[in-house]
Amino acid sequence: MIDPRGAFPSWNALVPVVGTAVLLWTGAETWLARRCLASAPMVLGGLVSYPLYLWHWPLLSFQALLSEPTARSRGAMVGLALLLSIATYFGIEKPAQRWYRHRPRRAVWALVACLGGVAGASSWLLYRAPPTMAHTVPYLEFLTVQRDLHYRLGSAIRTEPCPVWGDHREAVASLCVASGPADAALSAVVWGDSTAESWGPLVQAWASERQARAAVFSVSGCPPLLGIRSPMRAHCELADGAWKERLIAELRPSVIVLTARWGAYVNEPAPDDRGVAHRIAASTEDPLTLASSRAALARQLPATLERLTRIAPVIVVLAAPDLVRNPFRALPRGLEVRPTLEKHRETQRFVEQVVREAAAGNRRIAVLDPAETFCVGPRCEAVLGGVLVYQDDNHVTAQGALLLRDAFARALRALGL
């Protein structure tokens, strides 16, 4: 019901509020109140709920500061918070209540003394602690500047509305951003999953230099393939239906750019990956498995390229290397974010083979590999030449995308553009 992309609080906050109100309204004499809510486990849960409220958030916050959290580590912290809550209730709260009833004045002064001691000890520790994270402030300043640059570059080259009219206008309104003069010819169409919006600034900057337009169709979790289905992502049918091919043909671009986080559709998710597996299939009869995803991509990617190259030359952008951790969380803490080039090649081997076999001998297909720019030596960088390359663990920043200008120009020359 709650995810990072949604607003909070919103309607879902009413669920516990209304539920609590209904329980209070029904009263204490109902079967639910007498048999369930009055049971020993429920009463214990109520007694430790306030200590749990106090413990869980600091533990989860400190864990996020010290390392990249996973589902397993979060569960361990919640379990620890529950144990500490029970210990707090029986070891501190109940004795304090008894002491206050018998010696209230002493209890108050003891509390004041304890708070003063905690404040003094905290100040001493902060003063005496060595600067083990002296890199934190410079990195925070760097990340803030780079984040602002990313948004400025992105907003500077995007305009609305998209160059779409007729029957397709409503269908693509929420999927499309564009750049360039409204009356200019369309030079490029970028089509892909959420990575299309990340690579959009690269293509849009090229189009703006030609005083032309570029349109970016970005549909999260949906690879740019014709003839696939993905019930896990209901909007994929809208994004990848046959009408998409007709729309691109009507736009008549000079070049089509396909982008995706290709490996996400043909590999098992990493053990600490909090996202769900992206599964696709080529027909309604195929099960949504890793095997069906690989088979669908191996069949539909060459077929999609063959059909699109009838409209315009195509540049396939291979996946950028996935970082080990989100740079905004990891860099200030001195944690490693750079994946090895060997690991990246291993995870992308299947897709690269399919793409390069489809492109072999076809002069209307070029392949752009971000790893050739981002990977220096055995590792792939998150920061290159003072430029933050990534906005999270797999999407590039606008300035990171622009680092591929020379590589994009070479791909265009290979296509005769």
Residues 348 and 233 in one domain: yes
pLDDT in tens, 402-412: 999 999 999 99
Position 70 scores a pLDDT of 76
Decide if 1 is inside a domain: no
Q: Are strands 213-218 and 255-259 parallel, antiparallel or unpaired?
A: unpaired
Length of the chain: 417
In 3D space, the residue among 169, 208, 160 whose CA is nearest the CA of residue 187 turns out to be 208
Indicate the number of domains in the chain.
2
Of the residues 102, 128, 154, the one at which a domain ends: 128
CB half-sphere exposure, 334, CA atoms < 13 A = 8
pTM, two decimals, is 0.69
pLDDT in tens, 120-139: 877 766 565 544 444 455 77
Position 17 scores a pLDDT of 85
SS3 content of the chain, % helix, strand, coil (to 5): 55, 10, 35
Position 410 scores a pLDDT of 95
Q: Which residues of the chain have pLDDT under 70?
A: 1-9, 65-69, 124-137, 157-174, 182, 231-243, 270-277
Of the residues 89, 110, 128, the one at which a domain ends: 128
Extended strands (E) in 107-254: 176-179, 186-192, 213-218
Decide if 7 is inside a domain: no
Q: Are 303 and 179 in contact (CB under 8 A)?
A: no
pLDDT in tens, 234-260: 566 654 555 677 777 777 889 999 999
- CA dist 249 and 400 (Å) reads 30
Of the residues 128, 152, 173, the one at which a domain ends: 128
Residues 35 and 97 in one domain: yes
Residues 263 and 118 in one domain: no
pLDDT averaged over every residue in the chain: 81
Residues 76 and 224 in one domain: no
- Structural domain of 182: 136-414
Position 380 scores a pLDDT of 94
Residues 124 and 168 in one domain: no
CATH code of the domain in which 395 resides: 3.40.50.1110
